[in-house]
Amino acid sequence: MSHIFTVSDEQYKAIEEAARERGLPPEEFFRSWVEAVRQHVEQEQVDPDQAWFWTPEWQAKEREAEAAIAAREGTFFTSEEDFLTSLDEE
C-alpha cells in the first residue's frame, strides 16, 4: 500500500530546515516521521492524560510551532539560566 502526501512549499521548507538541523536529507527525515506516526496509529494506545496532544487542534499548533522554529522566529536561549533570567527582566 502506498500513500501520497502533498505539502505546501512553506511546509516543505520547514521539513528541509528540520532535516538539516538533524543532519538528514529531507526525504529521510519525512520518512522517519511517517514511520513514527504509523507505529503510533498501530499501537492505538494513547495515555488518556496525553490525549489532548493528539487532537487536531493541538497538532495544528505543533505544526505552527515547528514552522516558526524552522523559520528562526521567536527568541532562542542558550541555557535554562538565560531563559529564567529573561523572565525576571519582564
Q: Where are the domains of the chain?
A: 9-89
Can you tell me the distance from the alpha carbon of 63 to that of 51, in angstroms, rounded to the nearest whole number? 17
- From the list 80, 79, 74, 71, the residue with the least C-alpha distance to 21 is 71
Q: What is the pLDDT of residue 13?
A: 86
pLDDT score for 83: 93
Q: What pLDDT was estimated at residue 85?
A: 93
The set of residues, in sequence order, having a beta carbon less than 8 Å from that of 6 and lying 6+ positions away, is none
Residues of the chain short of pLDDT 50, as ranges, are none
What does the pLDDT read at residue 1?
A: 54
pTM of the full structure = 0.42
Nearest one of 25, 24, 26, 31 to 15, comparing CA atoms: 26
Record the cell numbers describing residue 89, joined without a space: 527582566
pLDDT score of 44: 64
